[in-house]
């Protein structure tokens, strides 16, 4: 009997969630069903999949839920029926601040069990936006990862991709695949930044990346799966769709044997405990 491990089929699912939470969950279910029918065992959805409005506000806070609320319950049912892992972004209630919420990712396994969560660390206070007006930054904690097949999966969100230490920290925690649910706002050069940053994080850490963005008109689209050598395995353009790729621990080992960068580095990652000085 061969002990060869079969490749794992994963999918990125791209859509534009809105303010109708039930419709968002239904759309998510339909896309997950399509991905599963193509063999996917892990499906990654965008940031803010539970509820999204182009302008955050009190209505966003009102749409936030607990981790045992209706959105996660809906994901649980979908994961069970389709026998898949699901990762999606949601607005999570923050008990410590009734005027803001956490921008949270949840990961559910094929049994519907919540196996990992991640609260966005780096908020989008850039390019004329200020997410921190309505969102509480996640605490710096040990990364939560989960197993899919023989691979370990780590979580990060959208603007985090501009901070390379976030991905490196996940790799230090054992991640072979990093999933990146996003609402990457369109704008001058933004699509170029997206493609460059996702590819760079995959190459420099010799990991797979599954980046799921929202579809236009607000999101840039271009959801993609990139391998540890920086090869773009699949990409979605501007439409609502799913894309499936097969990834493997064998490919990961092959790339790391050729490029042992993780073992050759001479610097580690440590949390910043004080704010950097302002730019002049």
Residue 239: active-site member: no
* Cα(224)–Cα(235) distance, integer angstroms: 4
Which parts of 107-239 fold into alpha helices (H)?
A: 164-172, 190-205
**Active-site residue, selected from the candidate residues 47, 65, 92, 131:** 47
User: CA 192, 198, 201 angle in degrees (round to 5)?
Assistant: 130
80, 111 contact by CB (below 8 A): yes
**Active-site residue, selected from the candidate residues 65, 120, 131, 183:** 120
Closest Cα partner for 148 from 83, 102, 94, 101?
Answer: 83
**Active-site residue, selected from the candidate residues 21, 65, 76, 158:** 158
8-state DSSP, 131: G
Residue 94: active-site member: no
Residue 47: active-site member: yes
- For the record, the structure tokens of 163 come out as 């901070």
Closest Cα partner for 213 from 2, 15, 61?
Answer: 15
Catalytic residues, by residue number, are 47, 120, 158
């Amino acid at each position: 009997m061969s002990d060869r491990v079969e490749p794992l089929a994963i999918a990125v699912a791209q859509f534009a969630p809105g303010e109708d939470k039930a419709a968002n969950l239904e759309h998510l279910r339909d896309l997950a069903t399509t991905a599963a029918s193509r063999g996917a065992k892990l499906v990654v959805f965008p940031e803010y999949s539970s509820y999204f409005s182009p302008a955050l506000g009190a209505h966003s806070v009102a749409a936030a839920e607990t981790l045992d609320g209706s959105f996660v319950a809906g994901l649980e049912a979908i994961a069970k029926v389709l026998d898949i892992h699901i990762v999606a972004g949601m607005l999570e209630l923050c008990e410590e601040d009734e005027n803001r919420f956490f921008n949270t990712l949840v990961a559910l396994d094929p049994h519907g069990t919540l196996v990992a969560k991640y609260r966005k660390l780096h908020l989008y206070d850039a390019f004329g936006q200020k997410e921190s007006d309505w969102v509480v930054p996640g605490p710096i904690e040990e990364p939560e990862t989960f197993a899919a097949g023989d691979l370990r999966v780590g979580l990060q969100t959208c603007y985090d991709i501009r901070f390379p230490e976030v991905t490196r920290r996940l790799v230090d925690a054992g991640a072979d695949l990093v999933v990146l649910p996003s609402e990457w706002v369109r704008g001058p050069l933004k699509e170029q930044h997206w493609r460059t940053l996702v590819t760079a994080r995959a190459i420099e850490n010799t990991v797979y990346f599954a980046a799921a963005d929202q579809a236009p008109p607000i999101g840039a689209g271009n959801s993609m799966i990139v391998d540890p050598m920086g090869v773009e395995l699949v990409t979605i353009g501007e439409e609502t769709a799913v894309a499936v790729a097969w990834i493997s621990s064998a490919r990961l080992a092959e790339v790391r044997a050729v490029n042992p960068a993780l073992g050759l580095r001479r610097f580690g990652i440590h949390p910043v405990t004080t704010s950097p000085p302002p730019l002049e």
